[in-house]
Amino acid sequence: MTKPTCGVNTSRFSKFSTALHLSGFFPALTLCLLFVGCDSLPRKSTAAQANDWPQYDDTDAASYISSCRQSYQRARDAFNALEKAEPSHPRDILTAINQLELLINEPLGRAGLFANVHPNESVRAAGDVCEQKFMALSSDINLSRPLYDRLMQVNLAELADMDRYYAQQTRQLFELAGVGLTEEQRIRVRELNAEIVKLGQAFLANMREDKRQVAMAPEDLIGLPADFIASHSADAQGKVVLSTDYPDYFPFLQYATNDSARRKMYVAFRQKGYPANKAVLQQLLAARHELANLLGYSNFADYITADKMIGSAAKAGDFIDQITVIAKPSADRDYAALLQRLRQIEPGATHVSDWQKTYLENLLRNEVYAVDPQEVRQYFSYAKVKAGIFALVEDLFGVQIVPWQTDVWHSSVETYEVREQGRLVGQFFLDMHPRAGKYQHAAQFGIRDGVKNMQTPVAALVCNFPGEDGGVDLLEHDQVETFLHEFGHLLHTLFGGDLPWLRFAGTNTQRDFVEAPSQMLEEWVWDLETLQTFATNSAGEVIPPELVRKMNQARHFGQGIFVRHQMYYAALSLSYYSQDPAKIDLDRVMIDLQNLYSPFPYVENTYLYASFGHLDGYSAMYYTYMWSKVIAADMFREFKRSGLRNRELANRYRHTILAPGASRPAAELVREFLGRPFNFDAFAEDMRNDVRP
């Protein structure tokens, strides 16, 4: 099972978790209430800060950076005034911090989005600068002794439950940021946070801008869908030039019959970002390691997991090994089937290679389960899938999705708003097709978090699906699943945007829980009743029940292999951040861990780490995808019992899991929904089954 990694965006969200540590970011204010203070962190003078904003000849970039600069100055002035203000009541500091976060929230969100998707290269560069400025300001806020001292004066016993939790979380945020360090140490923390932001931006930019192409002979496209071949004509030299972007890469590995051509494409894809990102990653690991040491942790993995559900790097390692054991029987069985099938093509084959697995899985699903992906994809045009997902959400949650008239950064971007009985819930952008300079994966980018009676949430879904410029828009079923997964993050953002404290909004929940709601929602694209509401071919014929039955029969083939390979990625991210970077050989660790955890051996001249964006974003926490998957499987059992279209259950799910956002620990939310703590039973059962009931 091969599909793009997706989730909430890993630029702003995750880099912020370095500076602020908690899964929410430090967004916010408009006034300055109280504060008496000394021991605030030394910073550049206003004059010095004014001189280090770049100038752009490009009109759009100049206009954008000017707007960002004004927003930044408002937030900076509010923070400076807040540090010096005389206190009124101790509790007022909570409101003041929330308001300060509100000033930062939207400019920071828009900066992260523009840096990754804007078609104008100069605006993307300006987005990086804007993000750096607000991240540095956020670091200053979290290192402010005056604000922290005032927080410590708040009597928690006087507060309501949610306010008390907010105060506790805010204190922890400051403490994990290093507010208790000496002045000299806090200055160094500020420098490291700024360096980490820039390194992360460079890492993602190197991936984003590395547009590799692979020249193939026309016969190398044998096996691919007819519409793919028709849209990739040969050039003057008789070569077909393919990119390593998703719309070319994934179909090629799935369908192309030429094994050497698939290997060529795989190697090119696994070289993206290399060699530039090798040096960047080494610097990023070193900066984060030094930061963790300053903050009293032996390594960054221990630091970043301290406030997550998992609790520590050691427990994350135990979890990876536990999942590996659970998945091993299924993985061994399916790997043996892949190898047997490969030997029908190559009689002397001794192992299956990473570039071969998707092609062989495709063959076996066709031969054993009679599922032909090319037959399946005819029912999933992008336009119909979008309409179907909208209709599903409207039906389950009783909302309406309607057009929204607003400015966009590219002509292909669509805009919508979600309403409930006339009330605005939130708004969103869809940027769904690839283009030069755009983020190459799939993610939700939060633009503005919602706060009760103050602002409604705004977010963007960013994907790279076919159908750009009026081309063929047929999606693979995996891409339909990805679409709904990302829409799950969007729903979390919108439905969790009506809380009084900004840091509690939507997907600001603990990071190793944030994928669970989206992973659970993926199940609906396997449901016959749901699919038959929108999955029709060009002749208007609805997807046949027999085909959906076969898809579900074939669904678990390769799942154990997929999980084992994911545990390789998880072990890699954890290992890189659990060691002294000065002693790490990036290539050696990558090769050794692949051979230990993955069924597929390392392929020479490939460098996964150079394009593994989660090493910046999720840092040591790639385990969270499978941790969330365990929770998602357990929650989905409720819908399997009561029905996937059960509106009463969907409403209860919305109000116990999505609407509370980060206002309570994630484990408590899940326990309330399930009526008990979550467990591994449903996930383990899925691993044992070849056929989903």
| Average pLDDT of the residues in 428-451 | 94
CA neighbor of 624 nearest in space, from 513, 523, 484 = 513
The reported pLDDT for the residue numbered 92 is 93
* Rounded alpha-carbon distances, angstroms, from residue 140 to 43, 75, 77, 145, 395: 8, 12, 13, 10, 45
Each residue's pLDDT tens digit, 239-295:
999 999 988 999 999 999 999 999 999 999 999 999 999 999 999 999 999 999 999
Average pLDDT in the chain: 91
The SS3 call for residue 402 is strand
Each residue's pLDDT tens digit, 8-19:
553 333 333 333
Each residue's pLDDT tens digit, 97-131:
999 999 999 999 999 999 999 999 999 999 999 99
Report CA torsion sign: 341, 342, 344, 347: negative
| Average pLDDT of the residues in 188-209 | 94
| Banded model confidence at residue 208, pLDDT cuts 50, 70, 90 | confident
Most distant CA pair in the chain: distance in Å?
A: 81
Angle between the 624-642 and 313-345 helix axes, to the nearest 10 degrees? 80
The reported pLDDT for the residue numbered 39 is 40
Q: Classify burial at 38, counting beta carbons within 10 Å of its beta carbon; exposed 0-12, middle 13-18, buried 19 or more.
A: exposed
User: CA 574, 590, 209, 619: dihedral to nearest 10 degrees?
Assistant: 0
Task: For the chain, give the percent of residues with pLDDT over 70.
Answer: 92
| Average pLDDT of the residues in 37-48 | 41
HSE at residue 1, side-chain half, CA atoms within 13 A, is 21
CA neighbor of 320 nearest in space, from 600, 624, 2, 614 = 624
* Rounded alpha-carbon distances, angstroms, from residue 509 to 135, 259, 393, 400, 657: 19, 44, 22, 25, 10
442 φ/ψ angles, rounded to the nearest 5 degrees = -135, 130
Task: For the chain, give the percent of residues with pLDDT over 90.
Answer: 86
Angle between the 92-117 and 161-177 helix axes, to the nearest 10 degrees? 60
Which long-range contacts link 569-572 to residues 24+ away (Cβ below 8 Å)? Answer: 569/608, 569/612, 569/614, 569/622, 570/316, 570/320, 570/622, 570/623, 570/625, 570/626, 571/317, 571/320, 571/596, 571/597, 572/608, 572/609, 572/612, 572/622
Each residue's pLDDT tens digit, 553-592:
898 899 999 999 999 999 999 999 999 999 999 999 999 9
Each residue's pLDDT tens digit, 665-682:
999 999 999 999 999 999
CA neighbor of 300 nearest in space, from 313, 283, 311 = 313
pLDDT at 542 over 90: yes
Q: How far apart are CA 418 and CA 435, in angstroms?
A: 27
The reported pLDDT for the residue numbered 4 is 38
CA neighbor of 601 nearest in space, from 593, 610, 609 = 593
| Banded model confidence at residue 42, pLDDT cuts 50, 70, 90 | very low
Buried b (16+ CB within 10 A) or exposed e, 282-302: bbbbbbbbbbbebbebebbbb
The reported pLDDT for the residue numbered 51 is 62
Each residue's pLDDT tens digit, 462-519:
999 998 877 789 999 999 999 999 999 999 999 999 999 999 999 999 999 999 999 9
Tokens of 188: 């160094």
Q: Are 636 and 642 in contact (CB under 8 A)?
A: no
Beta bridge partners of 402: 417
Q: How far apart are CA 337 and CA 557, in angstroms?
A: 10
Q: How far apart are CA 82 and CA 171, in angstroms?
A: 17
Tokens of 678: 């979550």
User: Which residues does 63 contact at the CB level (< 8 Å), separation at least 6?
Assistant: none
| Average pLDDT of the residues in 312-338 | 95
The reported pLDDT for the residue numbered 690 is 52
Structural domains for the chain: 6-207 (no CATH), 211-269 (no CATH), 276-377+558-622 (1.10.1370.10), 381-535+623-693 (1.10.1370.40)
pLDDT: which is higher, 642 or 21: 642
Pinpoint the alpha helices (H) of 159-211.
Answer: 161-177, 183-209
CA neighbor of 504 nearest in space, from 451, 461, 460 = 451
Instruction: Give the position of tokens 């016993």.
Output: 157
CA neighbor of 619 nearest in space, from 291, 341, 231 = 291
CA neighbor of 472 nearest in space, from 277, 227, 235, 681 = 227
Report the DSSP pairing between strands 423-431 and 458-462: parallel
459 φ/ψ angles, rounded to the nearest 5 degrees = -145, 170
Q: How far apart are CA 503 and CA 508, in angstroms?
A: 6
| Average pLDDT of the residues in 419-443 | 94
Cβ neighbours, 10 Å, residue 407: 6
The pTM of the full predicted model, rounded to 2 decimals, is 0.88
Report the DSSP pairing between strands 423-431 and 213-216: unpaired
Report the DSSP pairing between strands 6-8 and 213-216: unpaired
Q: Are 431 and 413 in contact (CB under 8 A)?
A: yes
| Average pLDDT of the residues in 613-642 | 95
Q: Are 90 and 150 in contact (CB under 8 A)?
A: yes
**What does 532-547 look like in DSSP terms, one character per residue?**
TTT-B-TT-PBPPHHH
Q: Are 613 and 570 in contact (CB under 8 A)?
A: no
Each residue's pLDDT tens digit, 333-385:
999 999 999 999 999 999 999 999 999 999 999 999 999 998 999 999 999 99
pLDDT at 687 over 90: no
Each residue's pLDDT tens digit, 302-318:
999 999 999 999 999 99
Buried b (16+ CB within 10 A) or exposed e, 502-524: bbbbbbbbbbbbbbbbbbbbbbb
pLDDT at 36 over 90: no
Q: How far apart are CA 587 and CA 620, in angstroms?
A: 17
